[in-house]
Amino acid sequence: MKIIAHRGLLEGPNKEKENKLDSIKKALELGFYVELDVRYEDDKFYLGHDYNQQEIEEIYLENPFFFVHCKNIDALRQLNSNTYVRSFWHQQDDYTLTTGKDIWTFPGKPVVENAFCVLPEAYEDGLEKTVLKYRDIAQGFCSDYPIKVKEILRYG
């Protein structure tokens, strides 16, 4: 079961910590996978959801513990040919595929077998009930609360 720290967050939404190298490093140190938002502009990659926050090198993204969410079409074009980066693009799609052939479920949509449940805390049933509901069919969970998800899976 893969537990993914959404934007590198560990204990809930936090605009100051999301998509920051320190947050990502901490999540990796705790054994979590990380979903991070990447933009490409003027021949450079940046971490950032809505705007370019911090410049990074493409090689940084070549981490098997990363799920790289391309936030603009140029990032998708640039990363599409890099077989070492697991990347994806989506808007409001119910499901999308990563370049690693993982099924990524839009928050609130039913999870199909072997897909990732994204933001279980956003589901109508709430975090705990959603994790328990999908733990036997999901490949993993991507959450702003990965520490709680890990606890639920261990003790639920």
Cα–Cα distance between 148 and 146 in angstroms, integer?
Answer: 5
Task: Give the model's confidence band at 72: pLDDT under 50 very low, under 70 low, under 90 confident, else very high.
Answer: very high
- Residue 114's Cβ-count burial label (10 Å; 0-12, 13-18, 19+) is exposed
- Domain borders along the chain are 2-155
pLDDT tens for residues 128-147?
Answer: 999 999 999 999 999 999 99
pTM, two decimals, is 0.96
